[in-house]
């Protein structure tokens, strides 16, 4: 596409990083400097960024996999879902595995299970959203009945002396007594806690499962007015100033 086909054409579009992404990193916030630069040739980024792939008019779930999720997250989710499918798990479990880390891929990492559950809640069965929410807590605690042990990679990620905070311990204990416990536990079982070089599964493998279990809004994800639409819009336009 030519420059003239993008919003704010002919001007430098300045991007201010999200505060949550730079807090504690030592990276300086460039906002004051950018505000001083504002003139007829410099604007704050709003709308489609030419540096990113443009979404179709009615975005679907797989559009986000293809156009926004980080490649490492796409591989992780497709591999986890493939493991569940190969093991003969239900479509609900497979979709929960496919979506469990979706927040990590293009929105926010901290408390990703809680964010991810809110993102998908308007579009999936309540059990799937519940499972995504509580996998975040359950992954820290073993369950010998299904062969799940504390991931060895977590010692490398967090240190051997890491102890989950109180809210994680509380939510894991709550989840253990819930009727949907095993759906969430199976996410942790088929999760990949370190990455390998296995072939990347094809998204086509999951198209029918998504079609039967994910309520795609007619207007497109992010444009439908659901309580979570703003989260999907943020991924469509991640660099908007406001």
Residues 197-214 pLDDT 10s: 778 899 999 999 999 999
SS3 content of the chain, % helix, strand, coil (to 5): 50, 5, 45
Domains of the chain as residue ranges with CATH? 3-51 (no CATH), 61-235 (1.10.3210)
Residue 2 has pLDDT above 80, yes or no: no
Q: What is the pLDDT of residues 113-172, one digit of tens each?
A: 999 999 999 999 999 999 999 999 999 999 999 999 999 999 999 999 999 999 999 999
Q: What span, in angstroms and rounded, lies between the C-alpha atoms of 204 and 212?
A: 14
Cα separation, 191 vs 182, in Å, equals 14
Q: Look at the pTM and tell me if it is higher than 0.85.
A: yes
> How far is residue 94 CA from its own chain's centroid?
16
Residues 10-31 pLDDT 10s = 999 999 999 998 999 999 999 9
């Amino acid at each position: 596409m030519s420059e003239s086909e993008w919003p704010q054409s002919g001007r430098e579009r300045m991007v201010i990083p999200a505060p949550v992404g730079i807090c504690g990193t030592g990276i300086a916030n460039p906002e004051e400097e950018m505000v001083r630069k504002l003139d007829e040739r410099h604007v704050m980024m709003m709308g489609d960024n030419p540096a990113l792939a443009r979404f179709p008019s009615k975005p679907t779930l797989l559009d986000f996999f293809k156009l926004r999720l980080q490649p490492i997250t796409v591989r992780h989710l497709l591999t986890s879902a493939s493991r569940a499918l190969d093991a003969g798990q239900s479509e609900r479990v497979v979709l929960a595995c496919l979506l469990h880390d979706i927040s990590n891929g293009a929105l926010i990492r901290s408390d990703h299970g809680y964010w991810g559950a809110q993102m998908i809640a308007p579009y999936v069965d309540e059990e799937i959203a519940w499972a995504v929410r509580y996998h975040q807590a359950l992954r820290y605690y073993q369950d010998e009945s299904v062969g799940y042990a504390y991931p060895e990679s977590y010692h490398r990620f967090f240190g051997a002396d890491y102890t989950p905070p109180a809210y994680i311990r509380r939510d894991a204990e709550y989840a253990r007594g819930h009727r949907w416990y095993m759906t969430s536990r199976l996410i942790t079982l088929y999760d990949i806690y370190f990455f390998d070089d296995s072939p990347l599964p094809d998204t086509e493998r999951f198209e029918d499962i998504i079609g039967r279990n994910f309520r795609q809004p007619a207007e497109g994800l992010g444009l439908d007015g659901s309580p979570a639409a703003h989260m999907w819009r943020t991924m469509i336009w991640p660099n908007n100033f406001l």
